Chain A
Amino acid sequence: MNTSETLTFECETGNYHTFCPISCVAWLYQKIEDSFFLVIGTKTCGYFLQNALGVMIFAEPRYAMAELEEGDISAQLNDHEELKRLCLQIKKDRNPSVIVWIGTCTTEIIKMDLEGIAPKVETEIGIPIVVARANGLDYAFTQGEDTVLAAITHRCPEYKSWIDEKNGIEEKSLSVYSKQNRDDTFKSPKHPPLVLFGSVPSTVASQLDSELKRQSIRVSGWLPAQRYTELPSLGEEVYVCGVNPFLSRTATTLMRRRKCKLIGAPFPIGPDGTRAWIEKICSVFGIKPQGLEERESQIWNNLKDYLDLLRGKSVFFMGDNLLEVSLARFLIRCGMIVYEIGIPYMDKRYQAAELSLLRDTCKKMHILMPHIVEKPDNYNQIQRMRELQPDLAITGMAHANPLEARGINTKWSVESTFAQIHGFTNAKDVLELVTRPLRRNNSLEHLGWTNLLQPTMI
């Protein structure tokens, strides 16, 4: 394998395993508490959701399939009437504040005009309907969230002026902040409004909020908010910053359609990423970060046990959820060697700051730049892994067991999508995930069962 001084980008066949982007309903319906997600697709989509989301399906989830039948495909049935009927039923049963229609491959192919039908149904039933085309023709896994957030962006209220709101904020802040913070608060806001975008669990959102508060930066809203009815205001004066690497459409929509100013920063994954993220936001607002360096090194100290386990070990990202670059950068900083970063889609503009942090990290740690392989080919990757014998492969569940049977430690990539990985606080959780196979296998090592394949299977 060639290694070089600069990051190399390759593009393969796109023959890789990933989750269908409709899986985003699984975490988005939990995040947006008053929403209902209606996936308009076939049995295939339903079967995927049912199996991928396991137990969740039994908990009366706020999502369902509008299962297309032969009559829908051949246009013997009227799409508008059908969707209206189902949405009325949803309104009756659940009365959500918003219904999100998830368009799928099938609606794309039969060219069902969801964007056209939605406003009509919206007026007829009196519930906002947001249309997101999260299909496997165009997107992979987490990009589903991107399409939903991009669609919801249009529904955010218009931001008037931050000077008007200033007084209101000051009054409200008084009751919220403790006494020692009050002095800072009185002076705030020193900066224009900041809206963060990306769906994270509410605890993670408040952790990131409070990290920024330490730097006297106030987050005026999150996209998405806990409830659809609490979406943040957007406008020309509003600064926006992403917390996840897969939100390039949302970023584009925020800039182009809502005229927001995008802060391009590395993503707050790992203590290094979190620090760089905060520093970038501070620098945009002309604020000098306070105590960030100490905070970061304190986190690194707490991670010592994990780092001892990871140092010098190699890792191979097969690529399926677009978190790969950020995770790889963090793991390199932890002392790991990254052979390959597979990634479904690489937006070099949206991820520019993250990529440059990756480059700096490699230099700092004196390791060779990894290959970034866009649209990877899983078959080729497995051949490469055979050569390289990495200590850890971060991969989808389709390959995990077969690789384990061949003596390669694996970590399911899906877990980093569902676990809490953002901010200083959760750096430990990421390493807990990454080291789990290593720790498990350390305790089994002496048994001599590393390779569990029958000779014929190799």
Chain B
Amino acid sequence: MKLAYWMYAGPAHIGTLRVASSFKNVHAIMHAPLGDDYFNVMRSMLERERDFTPVTASIVDRHVLARGSQEKVIDNITRKDKEQRPDLIVLTPTCTSSILQEDLQNFVARASISSDSDVILADVNHYRVNELQAADRTLEQIVRYFLNKARRQGVLNRSLTDTPSANIIGIFTLGFHNQHDCRELKRLLQDLGIGVNQIIPEGGSVEHLQDLPKAWFNIVPYREVGLMTAKYLEREFGMPYISTTPMGIVDTAEFIRQMENFINSFLSKERVDYESYINYQTQFVSQAAWFSRSIDCQNLTGKKVVVFGDATHAASITKILVREMGIHVGCAGTYCKHDAEWFNEQVQGFCDEALITEDHTEVADTIARIEPSAIFGTQMERHIGKRLEIPCGVISSPVHIQNFPLGYRPFLGYEGTNQIADLVYNSFTLGMEDHLLDIFGGHDTKEVITKSLSTETDLTWNTESQRELKKIPGFVRGKIKRNTEKFARQEGITTITVDVMYAAKEALST
């Protein structure tokens, strides 16, 4: 048993449901007790989904406990088959059904006889894998199922598309900025004249999965979900895949060069050359390269930060901060324990220490020890930051509704570099502002002494103090002036000198 208040990755069935409900016309049936369908709330609330979430439960209650599910699961599957005519029904085990050890595979076999839909049992073990691993497995399982089916039926189409094309694997519901990233990736491919063969699972149709091998190669933007599928497709069909995440200028360029290589390996003549595109985008479309040379970013040099999140985002952001902005990463960490080896390898040389943990208190303690000027993490780190008064930019799941913005906010590609630069810069300036406010003893004063910056004539600022006042950064100057004058009035001082200013600051800070 483990005393736990918070978890970074959810239980396995959430991963399965996220994949299943991302496909079009796929229905998931959970073998679960009442109340376990909380996934529907999340999808409806966080994604602000307009359609009913295609997930229902075959309820496990006392009767099921006593006599087993018997016909119940099968009835629920066939009922759903009739009601909504899905292409695929995914029977999803939960922690409860894991312990009951009913032969769900048998139910699936029996239900598929009487239903028009395909029916499969998600092959995930609640106690062995988490949300992300389960999502990865389920996606691979569905792809494998339909490719095998197509092969059996002899409709598998293995001829490549005429022009270069790619599949994008791993965009799905409740993913961190997934929708925006997907749009950005499509735009990038379009710019390069590469067609998008299929995007799975989001908005994909299982009936078209048989056309997956038509693409020239696969793109796996996030390593948490999609890698298993890409490896399967490589093994079965010799399809190459790119697992470099196009996040940040350097890795986006690397990503494009890999595509160039793949495409050229297929072409005998008229080879593609994306180098000029990379240069143009880097220098002029993305503002991030210029930003990193601008004096704003100069001020960030050597500032210490802590990065924490899923493996993909934490590793990419760490590299961006260090390589592209000259920021010092005190600690980079991930909660993807199953991917620790890869993560360590990625961040090696980019940070002082790597932290692999699922325990948020360990993350909090590390942050408290390092005392960074900013944190880049999940919602949990944002709250840790609040408590420690350190600003935090959210770069990874788990997230809240505010991390499902309506506006266009990709993290990938060239527009992504702009968004990340904004995020990083805003986190720091906020921190800087706070710090300055502290130095000059000003927090929001409840009573306004004078409405305008120039006050009535009862107080005069001598030349030195006026000069001193001008040295104070504009955004806190008004507040400092008001505080000083308030102090002067209290003390019955009519002429404000530099000494009075300092005294006012001292009086306020005590």
- Whole-angstrom CA separation of A139 from B10 in the bound complex: 23
- Chain A contacts of B453 at CB under 8 A? none
- Chain A contacts of B95 at CB under 8 A? 42-44, 105-106
Question: Are B3 and A66 in contact, with the CB atoms below 8 A?
Answer: yes
**Which of A57, A138, A396 contacts B41 (CB under 8 A)?**
A396
**Which of B96, B128, B380 contacts A106 (CB under 8 A)?**
B96
- Taking A42-B126, A48-B35 as contacts, is the C-beta distance between A61 and B45 under 8 angstroms? no
- Chain A contacts of B13 at CB under 8 A? 44
- Chain A contacts of B50 at CB under 8 A? 401-402, 405, 452-453, 457
**Which residues of A, 49-75, contact B by the 8 Å Cβ criterion?**
50-52, 54, 57-58, 61, 64-70, 72-73
Interface flag for B295 (CB, 8 Å): no
Question: Are A137 and B11 in contact, with the CB atoms below 8 A?
Answer: no
- Taking A42-B11, A379-B83 as contacts, is the C-beta distance between A137 and B60 under 8 angstroms? yes
- Chain B contacts of A85 at CB under 8 A? 1
Interface flag for A47 (CB, 8 Å): yes
**Which residues of B, 8-64, contact A by the 8 Å Cβ criterion?**
10-11, 13-14, 32-38, 40-42, 44-45, 48-53, 56-57, 59-62
Shortest Cβ gap from A113 to chain B (Å): 15
Shortest Cβ gap from A167 to chain B (Å): 48
Interface flag for B383 (CB, 8 Å): yes
Question: Are B1 and A66 in contact, with the CB atoms below 8 A?
Answer: yes
Shortest Cβ gap from A77 to chain B (Å): 7
Interface flag for A397 (CB, 8 Å): yes
Contact segment of A14-22, A202-210, A332-340: A14-22
**Which of B4, B41, B130 contacts A64 (CB under 8 A)?**
B4
Question: Are B61 and A15 in contact, with the CB atoms below 8 A?
Answer: no
**Which residues of A, 128-151, contact B by the 8 Å Cβ criterion?**
135-141
- Chain B contacts of A402 at CB under 8 A? 44, 49-53
**Which residues of B, 108-164, contact A by the 8 Å Cβ criterion?**
126-128, 130
**Which of A16, A21, A46, A52 contacts B4 (CB under 8 A)?**
A46
Closest to A73 in B: B99
Q: Mark B66-107, 1 if CB is under 8 A from A, else 0.
A: 000000000010000001000000000011100110000000
Shortest Cβ gap from B186 to chain A (Å): 19
- Whole-angstrom CA separation of A82 from B3 in the bound complex: 10
Question: Are B2 and A67 in contact, with the CB atoms below 8 A?
Answer: yes
Question: Are A21 and B3 in contact, with the CB atoms below 8 A?
Answer: no
Question: Are B38 and A77 in contact, with the CB atoms below 8 A?
Answer: no
- Taking A20-B35, A43-B11, A69-B1 as contacts, is the C-beta distance between A109 and B100 under 8 angstroms? yes
Interface flag for A444 (CB, 8 Å): no
Q: Mark A384-415, 1 if CB is under 8 A from B, else 0.
A: 00000000000011111110010000000000
Question: Are B99 and A110 in contact, with the CB atoms below 8 A?
Answer: yes
- Whole-angstrom CA separation of A64 from B59 in the bound complex: 26
Question: Are B7 and A20 in contact, with the CB atoms below 8 A?
Answer: no
- Chain A contacts of B56 at CB under 8 A? 15, 379
Interface flag for B6 (CB, 8 Å): yes
Interface flag for B475 (CB, 8 Å): no
Question: Are B57 and A15 in contact, with the CB atoms below 8 A?
Answer: yes
**Which of A17, A90, A137 contacts B65 (CB under 8 A)?**
A137
Question: Are B99 and A109 in contact, with the CB atoms below 8 A?
Answer: yes
Shortest Cβ gap from A375 to chain B (Å): 9
Shortest Cβ gap from B331 to chain A (Å): 21
What total count of A-B pairs have CB within 8 Å? Answer: 157
Q: Mark A186-210, 1 if CB is under 8 A from B, else 0.
A: 0000000000000000000000000
Question: Are A399 and B52 in contact, with the CB atoms below 8 A?
Answer: yes
Question: Are B40 and A44 in contact, with the CB atoms below 8 A?
Answer: no
Interface flag for A365 (CB, 8 Å): no
- Chain B contacts of A398 at CB under 8 A? 37, 40-41, 44, 53
**Which residues of A, 1-55, contact B by the 8 Å Cβ criterion?**
14-21, 40, 42-44, 46-48, 50-52, 54
Question: Are B127 and A70 in contact, with the CB atoms below 8 A?
Answer: yes
Interface flag for B266 (CB, 8 Å): no
- Whole-angstrom CA separation of A140 from B14 in the bound complex: 21
Tell me how many residues of B have a C-beta within 8 Å of chain A: 50
- Chain A contacts of B3 at CB under 8 A? 64-67, 86, 89-90
| Interface majority SS (helix, strand, loop, mixed), chain A | helix
**Which residues of B, 242-274, contact A by the 8 Å Cβ criterion?**
none
- Chain B contacts of A82 at CB under 8 A? 1
- Whole-angstrom CA separation of A73 from B95 in the bound complex: 10
- Taking A65-B3, A137-B62 as contacts, is the C-beta distance between A399 and B38 under 8 angstroms? no
Closest to B127 in A: A70
Interface flag for A352 (CB, 8 Å): no
- Whole-angstrom CA separation of A46 from B6 in the bound complex: 7
- Chain A contacts of B130 at CB under 8 A? 43
Interface flag for A445 (CB, 8 Å): no
Interface flag for B284 (CB, 8 Å): no
- Taking A44-B95, A135-B33 as contacts, is the C-beta distance between A67 and B52 under 8 angstroms? no
**Which of A44, A68, A453 contacts B36 (CB under 8 A)?**
A44
Interface flag for B5 (CB, 8 Å): yes
Q: Mark A318-333, 1 if CB is under 8 A from B, else 0.
A: 0000000000000000
- Chain A contacts of B7 at CB under 8 A? 43, 46-47, 50
**Which of B4, B53, B61 contacts A14 (CB under 8 A)?**
B61
- Chain B contacts of A400 at CB under 8 A? 44
Closest to A404 in B: B50
Q: Mark A440-458, 1 if CB is under 8 A from B, else 0.
A: 0000000000001100010
- Whole-angstrom CA separation of A19 from B39 in the bound complex: 11
- Chain B contacts of A73 at CB under 8 A? 99, 127
- Chain A contacts of B60 at CB under 8 A? 105, 137
Interface flag for B400 (CB, 8 Å): yes
Shortest Cβ gap from A420 to chain B (Å): 23
Question: Are B2 and A69 in contact, with the CB atoms below 8 A?
Answer: yes
Interface flag for A83 (CB, 8 Å): yes
- Chain B contacts of A68 at CB under 8 A? 1
- Chain B contacts of A137 at CB under 8 A? 33-34, 60-62, 65
Question: Are A141 and B35 in contact, with the CB atoms below 8 A?
Answer: yes
Q: Mark B158-190, 1 if CB is under 8 A from A, else 0.
A: 000000000000000000000000000000000
Question: Are A17 and B1 in contact, with the CB atoms below 8 A?
Answer: no
- Residue in B10, B44, B83, B380 with the greatest tally of chain A CB atoms within 10 Å: B44
- Chain B contacts of A284 at CB under 8 A? none
- Whole-angstrom CA separation of A107 from B7 in the bound complex: 20
- Taking A50-B7, A398-B41, A405-B50 as contacts, is the C-beta distance between A14 and B34 under 8 angstroms? yes
Shortest Cβ gap from A318 to chain B (Å): 13
Shortest Cβ gap from A456 to chain B (Å): 9
- Whole-angstrom CA separation of A64 from B2 in the bound complex: 10
- Whole-angstrom CA separation of A51 from B62 in the bound complex: 26
- Chain B contacts of A48 at CB under 8 A? 35-36, 38
Shortest Cβ gap from A39 to chain B (Å): 10
Interface flag for A108 (CB, 8 Å): yes
- Whole-angstrom CA separation of A141 from B34 in the bound complex: 9
Chain A residues with a Cβ under 8 A of chain B:
14-21, 40, 42-44, 46-48, 50-52, 54, 57-58, 61, 64-70, 72-73, 77, 82-83, 85-86, 89-90, 105-106, 108-110, 135-141, 379, 382, 396-402, 405, 452-453, 457
Closest 7 CB pairs of A and B: A20-B35, A136-B33, A398-B40, A405-B50, A43-B11, A136-B35, A42-B95
Q: List 26 A-B contacts (CB under 8 A).
A: A14-B34, A15-B57, A17-B37, A17-B41, A18-B35, A19-B35, A20-B38, A44-B95, A44-B126, A47-B7, A67-B2, A67-B3, A85-B1, A86-B1, A105-B60, A106-B99, A108-B65, A109-B99, A136-B36, A137-B61, A140-B34, A379-B56, A396-B41, A401-B45, A401-B48, A402-B51
Chain B residues with a Cβ under 8 A of chain A:
1-7, 10-11, 13-14, 32-38, 40-42, 44-45, 48-53, 56-57, 59-62, 65, 76, 83, 94-96, 99-100, 126-128, 130, 380, 383, 400
Further contacts, 12 of them, CB under 8 A, given A19-B38, A135-B33, A138-B62: A16-B34, A18-B34, A42-B95, A44-B11, A46-B4, A58-B380, A58-B383, A69-B1, A109-B65, A136-B34, A398-B53, A399-B52
